[in-house]
Every structure is written in C-alpha cells, then in structure tokens.
Structure 1
Amino acid sequence: MGPRAVIGVMTPGPNVNVENEMMDMRPRGVINAIDRYYVPNQKIDANADWETIMAHVTANLDASVRRLNECLIDHLILGMSSESFMGGEKGSFALQEHLEKLSGVGVTMGAQSAEAAFKAVGARKIALVTPYYPVIDENAVSYFKARGFEVVHVEGLKCRSIIHVGAQTHEPLIEAVHKCNEYNPDAIIQLGTNLHFAQVADEAERWIKKPVFSVGVAIYWHALRKLGINDQRDGFGSLLAKY
C-alpha cells in the first residue's frame, strides 16, 4: 500500500480535521499512519487554559512517536501547529531536533512548513488567522519575526475548546480572511490544524488574488516535498496545486 512512503501523523485526540484532510491529500502509494495523543477537550477561557493544553501535549508526544515507530515510518508529521511555535524560533527548532532524534526520521511541523510556503511565493508581509488566545499567537508572531517576516495582522478567533475549533463554519473563517486582507499582506496563513480551512483557502485565493494557505495543507505539502514526492493536487489551494 505504501511503496512511496509511510508517513506517521501525530494529532491531538479532539482534532477531527487532520486525519480526514491529510487522507484526502494522500497520493497513490503513500500511507498515512495516524496516532492520537491525549489532550483534554477542556473549556478555554483564558491564556492559562491553552497553557494547560500545551503541557499535556508536551507530556504525551514522545509516547506517540514510539507508537508510530512500530509502523516503520519514513517521515513524521506533527499535526498540531500550536506546539510547533512554542518558545518561538529557538523552541520550535529544539522540538524538531528532539522529534527527529527520537523517531530516527525527518520531521515536518507547522512553523517550518508555513515558512516554506511563504518563501515559495516570495511573501514577506504576512497575516495570520488563528483559533488561539494571545499566548499562542505571541509565540507564532515571535517565530515569524525571528525568521525575517513582517506580521501585519493576527486575527485570533479565541475558540473555546479544541472541538470548538473543529466546529467553526466557513462564514467566520471567510470574514477573518477579509479582515486580514485589509492590512495588505503579501500572503495569509491559517494556523490551528483543527480549523476546516483548506477549501476556504482555495476559494479565497480567487477572491483576493493573493496566496492564502491552510497550515494543514502546508504541513502535508512540505512533508511530501521533503520525501521527493512532487505530486500536485487541485482543491486545496495553490500551494499543493502549483508548488
């Protein structure tokens, strides 16, 4: 089933989007092996609640890697973008190094994938759509600034739980794109892999005539390209269709 690659995908238990979205993007001859690590689907009313969620992520990632290693994976994806931004640039690359050492394979995460997507289209002024509270947004902004980007706007939706992130309809996401575009970025990316944004991004690029990326698509695209798999696919935005 997977002569071209076996990709291990780690995602939080309450995330209902990553598995389905990445299965839809999967090229022929590639296997996605999914592991769900424990994160409580607790209410989120403040920064401290996100900090509790991130503590659970940190505590459970290593066991998820070990389970996926039993599939003899060729590559590993962290399907939760918030963790990839924690600690800014330094924290992000330290996490990537840790996961690579533990898994023994290459690792793709949201922060570096977003950066690669922006570089692919030559974007420097960027805007972010996120489901987060400021504690996560601030880490993402710190990462992008350290990597040489100008963040002109962050549209944080402040979702009330991880499941609430997955329950967002397209209407508020479309509105968030338009709000970001008012700040005249070169490109827009949505963070938070549980937001069902891939089709919104695909359509939004036609409305505003500039790149709009879904982080889940960026992650899977970046993983495929690292593996030397250059298949292109329509319906998920210009990144997967053209680059």
Structure 2
Amino acid sequence: MTPRSYRIGQIVPSSNVTMETEIPAILRARETVAPERFTFHSSRMRMTHVTPEQLKAMDADSDRCALELSDAHVDVLGYACLVAIMSMGLGYHRESETRLHARTVENGAPAPVVTSAGALVHGLNVLGAKKVALVAPYMQPLTRTVVEYLQHEGVEVLDYTALEIPNNLDVAAHDPLRLPGIAAALDYSDADAVVLSACVQMPSLAAVEEAEQKLGKPVVSAAICTAHQMLRSLGLPAVAPGAGTLLSGRYAESPVPPAAP
C-alpha cells in the first residue's frame, strides 16, 4: 500500500529562509521511522526587518496566504512567524488561528491552522513546563513582548537573552552551534525546559540534542513545537528522531488543542 502523503502549508515572512528547511527536516526525519510522507507548500508575506510596524503590516497579509494555500488543498497550515503573532496582543494566536481557518472554510478547503506562537505555548504545556529559560534573536523590546506573552499564558520566564539581531536574514545566518553555550549562560537551574530559539527564523534544530545533554533539561524551539502541533492536528503520532524530548515519542499522542470554530 502506498503511504499517505500530506500537504504541509506554510505562511512565511518573505525574508524567512529557515522554516522551509527546519520543518521539512523534522518531517523527513519522521519519514525514516513512520510510513507517512509529506510535501511542502508556502505563501509569503512581505517583511525584511523585525520591527513592530513591519510585523503588523505583514500579519494583515496572512489572510491572502491562507487563501492561496487552501487553493492547493493543503492538509494543515503553519503560520511561520512567532513574534508577528505575539506583537499583535496577548492571546492573539487564538484569534489568528480562528480567522485563518475561516478563510480555508470559505474557500471550500478547510484545514487546521497552527501558529508558531500558539504551538510554542502548547508545546510547553505538553511538557508540563511552567518555568522556562529562553533565547531569542530579537531586540530587547520585542523579546520582552515574547516574555510577557508567555507569562500571560501561564509560563514563567526565569531568565532570557535577546541577541538583538535586527535584520531577518542575519537572524537566519546565526550559527545554531553557538546556542547551547548561550543557553548555558542563562539561569536555567529551576527551569522545567529551555527554549533554544523563540523564533522560527533562527536555526536551532542542529543544536537541540546537544543542548539537552549540556543543560540536562528538555529543550524545544518554536519550529519543533510547530512540527509537533502540526502532526497532532493531522491526527498523526508526533515523533521525529533528532528533535529533542518533545518529539522523542514520549508525547506522540498528546491531546490536540481545541480546533478553531
């Protein structure tokens, strides 16, 4: 029997070059241990610098992207910009997911919508992580926005570092192998988990397992959490080799967040 193939749609900032590499890498790794297969399809929103003004303008374009991807009858949509969602207001991922899902329904191709912001919140909840330490590439004001957003969702951020990289392509060029050392400098001893990259543009997948060994804590990224929630939204076991504790298989059948109405 031919394995089922799923179409993964991604709503991506125009300057993002990481989400279309890390999500496929995670799901390709899954293909080595499970029968399902995946294809990847993107629609882009214009954004070059991670500023509140560009993020707001970009988010307004996400409805168009959802329509375009639903034309392709994708099986799930991922909104690949965490800080764009978080900068729009506390709890905004729920509003975004509901609205974009409605666009797919109106277009006759209903599909679940996963935002990387909501997925990070959900992934930490799945791990039972009430206290975290966090690495983000953003300038200090936007990093504080991320911290406040997570704390509003019941996740205490014990310590964090803002790498203050303003250009989005420079964020993508940051060496992921530096991240375990950066995270080790945080006060993470009482943390339940460490967020190695609170940004789907800053690559971290190559360093997650090293960071878990170095820190002795579960380590996640926004991309890993997005892949986990995408798989669960498709009704598939959320497991992939080389992607840390969340995708180790221990949480393969965790409950799916309530679907957008």
Establish whether TM, by shorter chain, passes 0.5: yes
Q: Is the 8 A contact 1:79 1:193 kept in 2?
A: yes
- Aligned residue pairs total 236
Partner-residue secondary structure (3-state), 2:72: coil
* Higher alpha-carbon deviation: 81-90 or 208-217: 81-90
Partner-residue secondary structure (3-state), 1:233: coil
Unaligned residue ranges in structure 1 (runs of 5+): 43-48
Of 162, 168, 186, which aligns to 1:180?
186
Partner-residue secondary structure (3-state), 1:132: coil
**What whole-Å deviation, never above 9, does each CA across 1:170-214 have from its counterpart, x for those lacking one?**
354223211224463111112111111012122111111111111
CA positional deviation for 1:235: 1.2
Evaluate the alpha carbon distance shift between residue 83 and residue 74 of structure 1 in structure 2; reply closer, same or farther with a 3 A threshold: same
Q: Is the counterpart of residue 147 in structure 1 residue 148 in structure 2?
A: no
2:43 aligned residue: 35
Work out the CA distance in 2 between the residues paired with 1:159 and 1:173: 14
**Amino acid across the alignment from 1:73:** V
Work out the CA distance in 1 between the residues paired with 2:89 and 2:134: 15
Evaluate the alpha carbon distance shift between residue 97 and residue 162 of structure 1 in structure 2; reply closer, same or farther with a 3 A threshold: same
**TM-score, length-scaled by structure 1:** 0.88
Q: Is the 8 A contact 2:7 2:74 kept in 1?
A: yes
Query: Is the helix fraction higher in 1 or 2?
Result: 1
Q: Is the counterpart of residue 56 in structure 1 residue 63 in structure 2?
A: no
Give the 4+ runs in structure 1 shifted more than 6 A: none
**Amino acid across the alignment from 2:82:** S
Partner-residue secondary structure (3-state), 2:90: helix
Quote the RMSD (CA, aligned, Å).
Answer: 2.0
Work out the CA distance in 1 between the residues paired with 2:90 and 2:52: 18
Work out the CA distance in 2 between the residues paired with 1:4 and 1:181: 43
**What whole-Å deviation, never above 9, does each CA across 1:7-46 have from its counterpart, x for those lacking one?**
211111211111111111224322221222221x24xxxx
**Amino acid across the alignment from 1:6:** R
Q: Is the counterpart of residue 126 in structure 1 residue 132 in structure 2?
A: yes
**What whole-Å deviation, never above 9, does each CA across 1:51-80 have from its counterpart, x for those lacking one?**
122033123212211211111112110011
Q: Is the 8 A contact 2:6 2:39 kept in 1?
A: yes
